[in-house]
Structure 1
């Protein structure tokens, strides 16, 4: 697993060979500037042949020389770039697995190859503040680009980098003012790699369509799909790092994608939507197993902790840890395997292709204000039918299954309304909030159903092991009471549910 990384905050400037360094000691808060230290650096940058990482503002390099020799991965982050480090290792061409996992969602099963080689003579001026605090480093770089294969000389340039250490961001602003006074402007390129690539084309990432009430209906679903694909890709490396709540968030993006493709399927060619929904169902199922195992472990463990000690009979905690802990570990292992499967990579390719060149139907080109409300209304009617079926369940029909179906319909309506926010903002928000409330209530009910199944099984197994099954029965009864309460809350919430969807 790679480190959590740190956010790099810096400003770059283009300068000519004869530009004198400004008086850095005049910057606010700077007490002294250390004597400069010179380093000889060599960096080899890795990417796919078609520069997929560069197109997303990501750089991956192996650098020798200087104080931080090693592998460096830089990814876009709020306010700067997040940087991850790994040791040099024994083989110059082998990207460390922890860093490779962080970019796998972009490169997938493509090969990473050297795309640029930079030799840099760096002179570092360290800025110190009161108490000798390390505020920032001013690096004066003379850069020489070379071919990563032949070593042939390419472009030469000089640039300055002012990078924060423990200083405040205001120092960067003051530095920019100081340099501007000397006629120095910010760099034209966002990174050394971009400048080294020169005229080599870097593929552009398509901008998301802007949905409008009077615009085409397809823009509504495409903007929502784009948003969820981005969310899925953001969560992929976090899931691999086992970040908190990452599996849930990735599963949520997957479900939203699948739901939107269902609600708005008539705006896209049926074969495309159908295939994607099938593959998204597979991914959501894999993520769901991991998420459900973790939720159930937390739920039952929390109930057990709330019990009086004299009501906990036998090794209940130990049995829960053995059963649910193993289930959770197995489910996580299955997720990690799935994220490295060709099937997952092809799903990502298909999602990218859909957004890059969407196969639209004629209905998709019609005004959103006329088309979208009808599609959302269909999902509202679908929910009403499911609720009616649950409330009028005939004898012998399992009401839990019917309530679970109503929950799934509420979830689909919620996502449909979220996507339709550009068509009728207030109505869509009200509908989405109401559907979310129903979904949450019935989600708690369904969790109770699963928990009772688990407790019943563990109780039966405890009897066979010669253990006391009292506590399992008691927790089962508490879950029954909780489910009854959820059902009552659902009936109350449904009384206030919006009668209509969106006004055209």
Structure 2
């Protein structure tokens, strides 16, 4: 891999498809425009015959021309658009193994083939700010695309405004760039583009653009058409409820995508990737436990799903070493006070754990065992009705799942020894945390699938989030003190004061959380019992 870059950009275009681009002067208040550079770019985009990359919001291209020519992989994850780059290779060799391996979890056994060609005449203008350097580039693109599967050609013009350098890290600089550039574009009649990616438009998947190509005057303002209302409850909602099978399919597809995205982030070297992967794996396990297995069609199917849940548990365990290393490093950085002394030796050990965990995770992410998990998820998503007899009505389905979650939380709580504030109760707190997280993940997954929650279900979700936060703090402190205790035998005498200080501080924080839990958890359980879950 040559590079990784978090792409922060906005796109603009003229409201009428095919209308000429006006000639603009990039004269702004504080931003200084360098002389415009003209570039000719030729790109081929690849996907599988079943468009696996498109379903996973991934684009793979080979591009010549411009300062960053090469193989590029773009993917959505962690709330942003990421791009990794690889050097150009000989066309005769096809897609290089490094590129194919990077997206293997998305394509599995399929082969990448050319899908679209894009020819772009680009005028690139770099913007700078005194004392800050280059902070953005404006690309005025005239694009001609050919869809190989249909032979259809599409042409359009657009502006891309992408942040560079310090503007990528500063919200204030980012807003300055977008505000000043948008002022110029708006004055020229341009509007924000709703195109997700050039390849989507080239394949005819940009419905708004296709309508405007046909001259539908009602759709001349794409930004207005793209606004979607948020659904926060059933009161007053007027829409057709999806079926239970549709809801479950949407939930599983969303969580399976998150699992692939976590692996992509890991390969791109993005911090927090293993944490995201562990969350996705746990979400899937909760979905299987509470939304699928109670409705399985046979014992054989149930046992098969139980095995899949165990594999997802193993996934999370493999990623734990790296995740804990990141957690420990963050906690050390937060607690690096003069009283703690020199923590460089501990920080080095935490970073060593991170590196070791990264290698373990990378090895696993490329393994047959990891890919088998993705195949199993794909088979389940393809037709959930083959595995489960679900309630016909999705509202009834949600009610049953919510009641099942409540029962699981209350049952676990009732087995809590109660009364203790010390470490004797920690195992029970850990068990409560697991079922509380399952409740949160499952209820959130219904929202992700577009099914609104009742007021009481929303209250249950809020309660689960709050309790998970407190319980998570206790788990973090316990992880930290356990790591310190295991590392003491390796410490030199000069290092031990640091250990003693950090252990004492962490034990104190853990006791504070235990006290909070003794107060908050019983009150939350009492409220949970009173919720009117139908």
CA contact (8 A) 2:249 2:381 kept: yes
Aligned to 1:70: 70
User: 8 Å contact 2:343–2:498 — kept in the other structure?
Assistant: no
CA distance in 1, matches of 2:37, 2:348: 59
Note the C-alpha offset of 1:213: 10
Q: Which residue of 2 aligns with 1:205?
A: none
Q: Which moved more, 1:345-354 or 1:97-106?
A: 97-106
Q: CA deviation at 1:49?
A: 4.5
Looking at structure 2, the residues matched to 361 and 89 of structure 1 have their Cα atoms a distance apart, in angstroms, of: 44
Whether 2:319 is the aligned partner of 1:323: answer: no
Aligned mate of 1:306, from 337, 340, 345: 337
1:248 alignment partner, SS class:
helix
The count of corresponding residues between Structure 1 and Structure 2 is 455
Alignment of 1:199-278 (within 5 A): 216-264=243-291, 265-269=293-297, 270-278=302-310
List per-residue Cα deviations over 1:77-103 (Å, max 9, x = no partner): 999986655432456535456654653
1:472 aligns with 2:504: no
Distance of 1:478 and 1:76 partners within structure 2: 39
Query: Is residue 533 of structure 2 the alignment partner of residue 503 of structure 1?
Result: yes
SS in 1 for 2:93: coil
The answer to whether the 8 A contact 2:436-2:467 is kept is yes
Residue aligning to 2:157: 161
Is 2:412–2:432's contact at 8 Å kept on the other side of the alignment?
yes
Q: Secondary structure at the match of 1:390?
A: coil
Tell whether the 8 Å contact from 1:127 to 1:138 is kept in structure 2 after alignment.
no
Q: Deviations over 1:378-409 (max 9, x none)?
A: 33333333333333489x99422222112212
Deviation at 1:331, TM superposition (A): 0.9
Deviation at 1:470, TM superposition (A): 3.8
Match of 1:9 among 8, 11, 15: 11
For residue 528 of structure 2, give the secondary structure of its aligned residue in structure 1: coil
Residues in 1 aligned to 2:81 and 2:318: alpha-carbon distance in whole angstroms: 31
In structure 2, C-alpha distance between the alignment counterparts of 1:490 and 1:93, rounded to whole Å: 60
Which 5+ residue runs of structure 1 have no aligned equivalent? 16-20, 148-153, 179-187, 196-209
Structure 2 residue aligned with 1:183: none
Q: Deviations over 1:111-144 (max 9, x none)?
A: 43445667x6x76677999x9x985435375x78
Deviation at 1:322, TM superposition (A): 4.1
> Which of 431, 439, 457 pairs up with 2:486?
457
Residues 438-484 of structure 1: CA deviation (Å, up to 9, x unaligned): 2222222222223222222333443xx55563442343233322222
Q: Which residue pairs with 2:461 in the alignment?
A: 432
Q: Cα 1:228–1:30, aligned 2, differ >3 Å: closer, same or farther?
A: same
Task: Give, in whole Å, the separation in 1 of the partners of 2:478 and 2:81.
Answer: 45
Match of 1:184 in 2: none
Match of 1:344 among 364, 370, 379: 370
Give secondary structure in 2 for the equivalent of 1:365: coil
Aligned-partner SS, 2:181: coil
Q: Which moved more, 1:409-418 or 1:426-435?
A: 409-418
Distance of 1:91 and 1:228 partners within structure 2: 36
Q: Counterparts of 1:8-407 in structure 2 under 5 Å?
A: 9=11, 22=20, 24-25=22-23, 43-54=43-54, 58-64=58-64, 69-75=69-75, 85-90=85-90, 92-93=92-93, 95=95, 99-100=99-100, 103-114=103-114, 136-139=139-142, 141=144, 155=151, 159-164=155-160, 168=181, 190-192=200-202, 216-264=243-291, 265-269=293-297, 270-303=302-335, 305-308=336-339, 312=341, 317-359=343-385, 364-392=390-418, 398-407=424-433
Is the Cα contact below 8 Å between 2:75 and 2:83 reproduced in 1? yes
CA distance in 1, matches of 2:27, 2:79: 23
Q: Distance in 1 between matches of 2:478 and 2:36?
A: 69
Shift of 1:489: 0.1
Alpha-carbon distance between aligned partners in 1 of 2:47 and 2:484, rounded to the nearest angstrom: 51
Whether contact under 8 Å (1:57, 1:76) holds in the other structure is yes
Structure 1 residue 227: deviation in Å? Answer: 2.8
- C-alpha distance in 2 between matches for 1:81 and 1:299: 28
- How far is the alpha carbon of 1:281 from its aligned partner? 0.8
Mapped contact 2:114–2:148 kept (Cα < 8 A): no
Unaligned stretches of 5+ in structure 2? 130-135, 163-179, 192-197, 206-230
